[in-house]
Chain A
Amino acid sequence: MAAAETAQSWHEIVLQTLKRNDIRLVPYVPDRVLTPLIRNLHADPFFNVFATAREEEAVGILSGAWMGGMRGAMLMQTSGFATLANVLASLVVPSQIPLIMFVSERGTLGEFNLGQSLVCRTMRPVLDSLAMEHHTCTRLDEFEFIADRSIKQAITTQAPVALILSPLLTGGKTFDK
């Protein structure tokens, strides 16, 4: 694993890619897998990072911030995404707001909670039904390319994007945690 010692972790890539694209506002509803990313964002004064009570609220905040000229991205887990169909369909997509979402994927590749595995199956059909761009990020060597290009595309085409962080990338959440 000599190469792994010098390679950036997935969460370092997220942080650096956000910074490179001047994305400062990061509301989130937490997830165990996202913990190191959230901790490092809090520690970096470049970012305005805070928890919201609900994912929908974060979408509203980012929509307002975009219209006011500030870029942001939100962090959540799969079950949080499942609460967003209404706001995506009634605000983000019709208003052409480049909402950038990082979704820590639960419910697959070793899920131990039946409810999580079921809610996970609703995520891609919702994204596809609104013709929203989304990528499932599985490999560290591709991740920076996908994240950086997707953020730039979202902003220049004024369209939302969901970056789904697979357990293949993050390690996921396991039964003992």
Chain B
Amino acid sequence: MSTSPVRNTKVMNRFDLTSRLVARLKNEEAVVGGIGNTNFDLWAAGHRPQNFYMLGSMGLAFPIALGVALAQPKRRVIALEGDGSLLMQLGCLATIATLAPKNLTMVVMDNGIYQITGSQPTPGAGLTDLIAVAVASGLSNSSWAADEDDFERLIAQSLVTDGPMLIGVRIDDKPGTGTTRRDPVQIRERFMHGLGVRQPL
């Protein structure tokens, strides 16, 4: 991709970043993992009752997290999404900017490929700047993480900041580390227990 713009952002690893994120969660924050590798690495980083793993409905990690954030305004909600997924549902950025939930953190993991289907390039790979798209959508608190330390700084900041925040990370082409157990009812029920909405029988 010789035509790619030069970026000062380091290419990082999804599992490493997800693990760093999870290690910082001390207040039962909800985490919504997007379809495929994004939630596989969330699973591999260590299951938490406040994790929701998407098994389908590509592109809906941010909307699902928005719904959780609206329902539980005192809980910080974090959504992890891939660049291909976000490209399917760019309109949600405008919705989130308009509703401006105080407790929503979004992370877009950008490797420019549909890794899980054979690493085909996503449209606009290396060209479309998803953080610029987010800013133009009205999410002014959006930025690329320069490296791992910067990612951790941005996450820490988002956990104590009022308002939606979006963090972009460039990641490598590695597949997910684990594989989420594909049991949608149990995933949903455990998540509701984790959020205090339900009690186990």
Residues of A in contact with B (beta carbons under 8 Å apart): 25, 48, 50-54, 56-70, 72, 86-87, 89-91, 94-97
Contact = CB atoms under 8 A, between A and B. Distances in A.
Contacts, number: 129
Looking at A25, A48, A64, the one whose CB has the most chain B CB atoms below 10 A away is: A64
Contacts of A70: 67, 70-72
Given A25-B70, A57-B95, A94-B184, A68 B60 contact: no
Q: Dominant SS at the B interface?
A: helix
Given A68-B67, A95-B187, 14 more contacts: A53-B90, A53-B91, A54-B91, A60-B57, A60-B63, A61-B66, A68-B72, A68-B75, A70-B70, A70-B71, A72-B67, A86-B56, A91-B54, A95-B184
Contacts of A97: 188
Contacts of B58: 86
A68 B71 contact: yes
Interface string B61-100: 0111111111110010000000000000111101100110
Nearest to A68: B71
A67 B195 CA distance: 8
B52 interface: yes
Contact of A61 (B52, B70, B184, B197): B70
A57 B185 contact: no
